[in-house]
A and B are shown apart, each in its own frame.
Chain A
């Protein structure tokens, strides 16, 4: 079953915005610009998620859930021994893309900051959604493993097509996939988490990632 959820705006994380804008460590000189961009973005942002829980079947290296069959080592490592997965898609909406488009023409400096705001917003939305899911799972003494997405590690980007078919994203949250496997609205995430009863040691987001040369690495 596909479900949808609408979230209240998650708390703003300015340090993350600065990290995505690659101005981490800059002095206060961008404060006004960031404030102005946040103010304009606030009125057009929305926070929508659609999701489904699926049972996992394993056959040697093959992992199957819903309509998805994969041999991805990244997924295997992320979900561990989970018996179920939570598949979800999250978006901050199409009107934000219009704003981005407008400033891409009028003021690339603002577009750059807005771009970073969009990235921070959708990641914060994913965090809020996963936190909610974890709270819901406490009853059954389970929790989510870390989330991974198509295009990350060895997960093929074309798994997006299967996720979109599974979650009916266009209808549920207005999220579409184009022929180049790009999502519109652009500030959107699809992801897969395992649901496990095992203990998980908390780690900083970036610590678990293999991409050690990443410019955004914390």
Chain B
């Protein structure tokens, strides 16, 4: 029987610990256990055999760290070949009569993925792919991805397994004491992502004994529609007379684990500290009856940490990252101002959005590249799930691939072409799709017509193996100003689809008021009606106070807000009139404050407000020249004289930035940047960028056209951008001695391709001498020093 069939009908018993047994047999601290496949095949085979003999259906090959980051190609192949051989030999030698399988064991790489670490997502996929290909080549029965403590790396491993084999894949994560992965994911978020990607069984291993893992595994049982696995440690280790002992013994271990099997766990074994005795005790206690795996019907999306469930409590999807009708965002997209775009996302999060829509479609930009970049950067700073919004299937696939979680997909519709493009992507990467009730013949003008399209979409999805729980229907809000029955039709379809087809719903609420004055009034009323008719999610602007009032009132009235606490907090913010404060923190009003003083004191909201006031009767450039720059100069001088500390300088710079945003909103793009181009980056291999961002902020304030290439940047990219802009100035930052050679290499390449550019360097390890020795033009001791140097260079260009 192949493993997939076996898993359907049986409780699967896994093996127990390997590392602890190898240490008892002489593995030294820091020594590679994988090499023992070659040097001590008999030891490895004997351990595997004892697990089979004790009742294990599956043993894991001794390949936890066998990947091409740790071993060269030849040795890696040898290790995996021998490891599989050792396990197969053990299966043959074992006299046990039960089904026996060999799993290719895959553990984490030990590196953290970008952007928090330095391992690229696609590189991680290809690292795992090599191991998978070798496992397949030497004939394993299944793949076991285990002890993963980061969601992104787990995704890379599962993707590699799926793309390089048809074998069953079991995925197991290691949780911390706070019942989350080390990088923050909750069990519900992991279930959503892994199940969506088609894992055959999912679960938890390592970390603790079965008692402490019980609450986590119960979360899995609550949400998972696939078999759940559990492979706990034998408790926690301690040392007695030089021997490592664990504090949960086989009897207690097997009691608790068998109890969890009775509650629904279908795949069970042991991890660190467990031995064949534990597995034998477990087998003895597991009942004959096989618990069934019940399908769950929750509609869930996830970020790298958090699951968002669609239900009676409406979900707000922030719509602000969409260039349609937004001049400033268009400019930001064209100029690659990622921090502006990310800022828009984070502001919506503070305003109450639970999901962020991401749409970067502009005719003149490379949408697949930009969408991927924004999704990648946004998910590094926000823990909200994202709604990926594009009509380009290529952009959609790229974004879904690098998305760290289970995304909301915007959108699919009843057209054959649309479903053929989107459903295969959902099947591969997981996701919940917003399905629009329109098809080749347009938008039906009857409720029945829209419901019929919904049914067609559900049926077609089912043919792809996609459950209707992963579809959210949008019955399309159309302008009531054009058709007086538009709202009735939308709401009627919504009601039927939600309550008769039993699926969730979403609307772009504000479309309803198109063409009417005072749109907020109609929007808020329509929103309330839609919620009452079963709206599960709304795509909207969380800064629209009227909509937010409806949202919080609805939740109170429907008993969704315990102790009315969310409403009360909201009401207080309305009273203080700070609902639409874009910073999330309101400064105290002070009528005597001037813009210059607000900048000097670092009061962001005040600076923005006073700037708006001034702009009513002052030219933008005059505001910059006479108010903002003198204030910055004052603070800058005080900083240089040691009277103001760096955080003070930065608070002023941030306040100035808020003022500049108001000015930008009123000027044609790029004006105000009256100084030369400045390319800035943290060099290859270095992932620290706080210092670089400080320098960038000040340079922008002083009017330089800064092109920020980010951190860990290849020398070639820096050269390319410098040449493209013919930039007179390049700023390079390095924090570690180990990355200074990358800085030197970058300077060397710049000298060849862009000899006109002056290179200024800085960072924790830099000194004047160091800078001279690698050929920089200038060592800047701090951000102000860089500004002064840049101004001097700029002056020579005039």
Name B757-774 residues within 8 Å CB distance of A: none
List chain A residues, Cβ under 8 A from B149.
170-171, 174
Which of B37-45, B251-259, B648-656 is found at the contact surface with chain A? B648-656
A136 to chain B, nearest CB (A): 12
List chain B residues, Cβ under 8 A from A173.
182
Q: Does B139 contact A (CB under 8 A)?
A: no
Please pick, from A54, A95, A111, A113, the residue contacting B693 in the complex, using a CB distance under 8 A: A111
B348 to chain A, nearest CB (A): 13
- Contact between chains at B645 and A67 (CB < 8 Å): no
- Contact between chains at A95 and B112 (CB < 8 Å): no
Q: Does B339 contact A (CB under 8 A)?
A: yes
Given known contacts A164-B110, A171-B108, A186-B688, is B381 in contact with A105 (CB within 8 Å)? yes
Q: Does A21 contact B (CB under 8 A)?
A: yes
List chain B residues, Cβ under 8 A from A165.
30
Name A106-125 residues within 8 Å CB distance of B: 106-109, 111-113, 115
List chain B residues, Cβ under 8 A from A3.
236-239
- Contact between chains at A178 and B117 (CB < 8 Å): yes
Which of A26-34, A127-135, A137-145, A196-204 is found at the contact surface with chain B? A26-34
- Contact between chains at A46 and B654 (CB < 8 Å): no
Give 1 or 0 for each of B135-176: 1 = CB within 8 Å of chain A CB: 000000000000101100000000000000000000000101
| Chain B residue at minimal CB-CB distance from A174 | B182
* Complex Cα gap A177–B118 (Å): 9
Q: Does A66 contact B (CB under 8 A)?
A: yes
Given known contacts A46-B178, A177-B110, A178-B112, is B29 in contact with A33 (CB within 8 Å)? no
Given known contacts A94-B183, A184-B112, is B343 in contact with A33 (CB within 8 Å)? no
List chain B residues, Cβ under 8 A from A107.
650, 654
Name A160-188 residues within 8 Å CB distance of B: 162, 164-166, 170-171, 173-174, 176-182, 184-186
Give 1 or 0 for each of B182-196: 1 = CB within 8 Å of chain A CB: 111000000000000
Give 1 or 0 for each of A93-107: 1 = CB within 8 Å of chain B CB: 111011011101111
Given known contacts A66-B30, A94-B183, A112-B650, is B112 in contact with A104 (CB within 8 Å)? no
* Complex Cα gap A23–B339 (Å): 27
- Contact between chains at B646 and A22 (CB < 8 Å): yes
Q: Does B115 contact A (CB under 8 A)?
A: yes
List chain B residues, Cβ under 8 A from A46.
176, 178
Name B97-123 residues within 8 Å CB distance of A: 107-108, 110-112, 115-119
- Contact between chains at B381 and A108 (CB < 8 Å): no
Q: Does B336 contact A (CB under 8 A)?
A: no
Q: Does A63 contact B (CB under 8 A)?
A: no
Given known contacts A95-B184, A105-B342, A181-B736, is B647 in contact with A113 (CB within 8 Å)? yes
Given known contacts A23-B646, A182-B687, is B697 in contact with A108 (CB within 8 Å)? yes
* Complex Cα gap A105–B345 (Å): 12
Q: Does A191 contact B (CB under 8 A)?
A: no
Given known contacts A23-B645, A165-B30, A177-B111, is B239 in contact with A94 (CB within 8 Å)? no
- Contact between chains at A176 and B381 (CB < 8 Å): no
- Contact between chains at A94 and B739 (CB < 8 Å): no
- Contact between chains at B30 and A162 (CB < 8 Å): yes
List chain A residues, Cβ under 8 A from B651.
33, 109
- Contact between chains at A1 and B112 (CB < 8 Å): no
Q: Does A52 contact B (CB under 8 A)?
A: yes
Most buried by B among A3, A108, A173, A186: A108
- Contact between chains at B174 and A171 (CB < 8 Å): yes
- Contact between chains at A21 and B647 (CB < 8 Å): yes
Q: Does A209 contact B (CB under 8 A)?
A: no
- Contact between chains at B690 and A108 (CB < 8 Å): yes
By a beta-carbon cutoff of 8 Å, the part of chain B in contact with chain A is 28-31, 107-108, 110-112, 115-119, 147, 149-150, 174, 176-178, 182-184, 206, 236-239, 244, 305, 339, 342-343, 346, 380-383, 602, 645-648, 650-651, 653-654, 685-690, 693-694, 697, 736-739
In order of increasing CB-CB distance, the 8 nearest A-B pairs are A174-B182, A67-B30, A109-B650, A178-B118, A165-B30, A180-B685, A184-B112, A1-B244
By a beta-carbon cutoff of 8 Å, the part of chain A in contact with chain B is 1-4, 6, 21-23, 26, 29-30, 33, 46, 48, 52, 54, 66-68, 93-95, 97-98, 100-102, 104-109, 111-113, 115, 151, 157, 162, 164-166, 170-171, 173-174, 176-182, 184-186
7 contacts between A and B (CB under 8 A): A54-B29, A68-B30, A93-B182, A95-B305, A106-B342, A171-B147, A179-B118
